[in-house]
Amino acid sequence: MSINTRMIEITCNDRLGKKVRVKCNPDDTIGDLKKLIAAQTGTRWEKIVLKKWYTIYKDHIKLEDCNIN
């Protein structure tokens, strides 16, 4: 992690009316983001599937590579 990395805030919708805001770094992975979401929702992180439209994001990809900002 670099010193001047700014944190980003991601809003996740569970499609049942609950929204969660998570702050993380752009160089975190999708798996790290799932763990942060799981800590707030109480859901196991292995069960969380992150999608944007029809794209399903894999755990090993960094957020900055997915164009999530």
Per-residue pLDDT tens over the stretch 7-66: 888 888 877 778 889 998 888 899 999 998 888 888 888 888 888 888 888 888 888 887
- Looking at residue 7, its pLDDT comes to 84
Which letter does DSSP use for residue 52 in this model? E
Which of the pair, 67 or 13, is modelled with greater confidence?
13
pLDDT-derived band at 4, boundaries 50, 70, 90: low
Q: Long-range contacts for 38-45 (Cβ within 8 Å, ≥24 apart)?
A: 41/14
Supply the pTM of this predicted model: 0.79
**Residues pairing with 9 in the sheet:** 23
- Looking at residue 2, its pLDDT comes to 53
**Token code pair at residue 66:** 């997915």
Protein fold of 8-65: Ubiquitin-like (UB roll) (3.10.20)
Hey, where are the domains in the chain? Answer: 8-65
